[in-house]
């Protein structure tokens, strides 16, 4: 409800409070309040109801003739100074509530798929690593070359599917390119709505991130346990399986965290992007963990394959994975700490 009141305050705030204007504000407030309660009665959540009501608000331009604010809303051409300034400060069209909601919806529905794709990139080498050491150590009776071939085939199939999913999601977000590149002017109503959205999703996101970081830190346990506790002949064959399990744990963490991140990311896109440069800045900061994992893990895969094939050292190259995992856990918890510091500092400043 407060959001609706605040929205109207922002919309009408720019104009002198004449009797007609106050009357319009009061009546529109009643209409919006009625509509809000109507949507709640229909079973919508508070946030959805507020979103719908704000979407259906319309445009103050329409009221201009009745309220006598035409001059303020559209300055007449007889003011040469204003006319001369206009083209110089030509700003991109403001983001509309409807557009923002469609974008948020696309992100919300698309995020689990992106998370799955990233997780698939991470686990893609698991069969290869497991098979290479199992066959190399003689734990299963299979020619090591065949084992590597099967593992590689799995890797390629998983990566291909993950790439297809990523491309598909890119197409899903194609209509919103103006939002993602920051080529829009912010609107107070959408700002409020987006912040509200992020605030509502924030506790779940924090919990998810903490669980994920916990998993990432614990991910090396199978590898450590195997190399410290098992006899060396067992370790030689089974270390690959331990590494595969580690990758599975890392991927699970990504599956938990990434889908919970959409609202925060949407709010950042909608509220921080103003003009293209700022937009790129916001883009750079958005979901650093997500961005890093999208580049980091494929790079590790490349490094692993290069070492294994060029070096021909399948028995030892798995070591790259625990190192990568520890590094990843360290990076993501470090970023999380920075983010929390920034948030608390931001709250303190307000």
Nearest by Cα to 333 from 247, 203, 210: 210
**Contact status: 328 vs other proteins (CB under 8 A):** no
Near other proteins in 66-105, by CB under 8 A: 66
**Contact status: 305 vs other proteins (CB under 8 A):** no
**Contact status: 65 vs other proteins (CB under 8 A):** yes
Return d(Cα 11, Cα 13) in angstroms, integer: 6
Region of 275 please: left (phi>0), alpha (psi -120 to 50) or beta: left
Considering beta carbons, is residue 57 or 328 the nearer one to other proteins? 57
**Least separation, in Å, of the C-beta of 11 and other proteins?**
9
**Contact status: 57 vs other proteins (CB under 8 A):** yes
Residue 275 burial class via C-beta count within 10 angstroms: exposed 0-12, middle 13-18, buried 19 and up: middle
The pair of structure tokens assigned to 196 is 């509200």
Phi, psi (rounded to 5 degrees) for 17? -75, 75
Q: Which stretch binds other proteins (CB under 8 A): 60-68, 177-185, 235-243, 282-290?
A: 60-68
Considering beta carbons, is residue 68 or 315 the nearer one to other proteins? 68
Partners of 191 in beta bridges: none
Contacts with 38 (C-beta within 8 Å, 6 or more apart), sequence order: none
Return d(Cα 338, Cα 227) in angstroms, integer: 34
Phi, psi (rounded to 5 degrees) for 185? -100, 135
One of 9, 56, 105, 200 touching other proteins (CB under 8 A): 56
**Contact status: 190 vs other proteins (CB under 8 A):** no
Considering beta carbons, is residue 24 or 154 the nearer one to other proteins? 24
**Contact status: 175 vs other proteins (CB under 8 A):** no
Considering beta carbons, is residue 32 or 100 the nearer one to other proteins? 32
One of 63, 116, 129, 324 touching other proteins (CB under 8 A): 63
Total residues at the site for other proteins (CB under 8 A)? 18
Return d(Cα 239, Cα 176) in angstroms, integer: 46
**Least separation, in Å, of the C-beta of 61 and other proteins?**
8
The pair of structure tokens assigned to 61 is 């331009």
**Least separation, in Å, of the C-beta of 70 and other proteins?**
12
Phi, psi (rounded to 5 degrees) for 293? -65, -30
Return d(Cα 264, Cα 286) in angstroms, integer: 8
Q: Which stretch binds other proteins (CB under 8 A): 62-70, 218-226, 271-279, 281-289?
A: 62-70
Per-residue x/- track, 5-34, other proteins (CB under 8 A): -------------------x--xx-xxx-x
Asked if residues 258 and 290 have their Cβ atoms less than 8 Å apart, the reply is yes
**Least separation, in Å, of the C-beta of 81 and other proteins?**
29
**Contact status: 62 vs other proteins (CB under 8 A):** yes
Return d(Cα 32, Cα 18) in angstroms, integer: 21
Near other proteins in 32-51, by CB under 8 A: 32, 34-35, 38
Q: What is the binding site for other proteins (CB under 8 A)?
A: 24, 27-28, 30-32, 34-35, 38, 56-60, 62-63, 65-66
């Amino acid at each position: 409800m407060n959001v609706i009141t605040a929205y109207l305050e922002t919309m009408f705030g720019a104009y002198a409070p004449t009797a007609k204007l106050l009357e319009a504000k009061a009546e529109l407030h009643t209409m919006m309040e009625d509509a809000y309660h109507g949507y709640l009665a229909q079973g919508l959540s508070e946030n959805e109801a507020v979103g719908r009501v704000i979407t259906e608000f319309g445009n103050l331009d329409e009221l201009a003739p009745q309220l006598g604010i035409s001059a303020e809303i559209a300055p007449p051409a007889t003011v040469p100074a204003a006319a001369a300034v206009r083209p110089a400060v030509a700003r991109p069209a403001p983001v509309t509530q409807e557009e923002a909601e469609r974008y948020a919806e696309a992100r919300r529905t698309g995020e689990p798929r992106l998370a799955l794709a990233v997780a698939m990139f991470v686990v893609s080498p698991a069969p290869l690593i497991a098979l290479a050491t199992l066959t190399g150590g003689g734990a299963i009776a299979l020619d090591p070359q065949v084992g590597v071939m099967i593992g590689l085939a799995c890797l390629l199939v998983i990566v291909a599917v993950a790439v297809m999913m990523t491309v598909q999601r890119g197409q899903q977000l194609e209509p919103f390119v103006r939002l993602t590149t920051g080529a829009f002017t912010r609107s107070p109503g959408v700002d409020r709505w987006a912040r509200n959205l992020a605030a509502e999703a924030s506790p779940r996101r924090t919990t998810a991130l903490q669980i994920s970081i916990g998993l990432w830190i614990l991910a090396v346990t199978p590898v450590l346990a195997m190399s410290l506790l098992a006899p060396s002949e067992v370790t030689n064959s089974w270390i690959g399986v331990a590494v595969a399990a580690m990758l599975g744990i890392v991927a699970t963490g990504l599956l938990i965290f990434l889908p919970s991140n959409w609202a925060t990311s949407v709010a950042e896109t909608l509220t921080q992007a103003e003009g293209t440069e700022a937009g790129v800045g916001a883009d750079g900061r958005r979901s650093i963990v997500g961005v890093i994992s999208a580049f980091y893990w494929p790079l590790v895969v490349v490094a692993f394959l290069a070492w294994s094939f060029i070096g021909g050292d399948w028995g030892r190259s798995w070591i790259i994975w625990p190192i990568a995992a520890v590094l990843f856990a360290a990076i993501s918890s470090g970023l999380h700490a920075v983010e929390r510091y920034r948030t608390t500092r931001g709250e303190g400043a307000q």
